[in-house]
Amino acid sequence: MSVDKDTVRRIAKLARIALDESRVEPMERELNGILAWVEQLQEVNVEGIEPMTSVVAQKLKMRDDVVTDGGIAEAITANAPQSEDHFFVVPKVVE
């Protein structure tokens, strides 16, 4: 399988990464190089094999559904590029 320029533009959009039109063709080439190389996985017989979900066999730990942390709005917003009264500030989203 390989990607074309439209697919490159579409996945860049899905990934929310602006891709300059001049970068579409080189990216197409780079991605196709990698996809051609991983193509060899198609030769492996995976009939009846379960996909791995955890490398170490263990039951997912459960904990009580209680609040263990909180009241740290100041710390949480401290790294925000823009914040106000413990809110993250973004450009207008709803007209």
66 lies in the site for another protein, by CB under 8 A: no
Q: What is the SS3 assignment for 17-32? A: CCCCHHHHHHHHHHHH
Could you give the string, one character per residue 16-55, with x where binding to another protein holds by CB under 8 A and - elsewhere? xxxx-------x--xx-xxx-xx-xxx-x-x--xxxxxxx
Exposure b/e, 25-44, CB count within 10 A at least 16 = b: eebbeeeeeeeeeeeeeeee
Residue 84's H or E segment, with its range, is strand 83-84
Smallest distance, Å, CB 68 to another protein?
8
Query: Where does this chain bind another protein (CB under 8 A)?
Result: 1, 3, 7-8, 11-19, 27, 30-31, 33-35, 37-38, 40-42, 44, 46, 49-56, 58, 60-61, 63, 72, 75-76, 78-82, 88, 90-91, 93
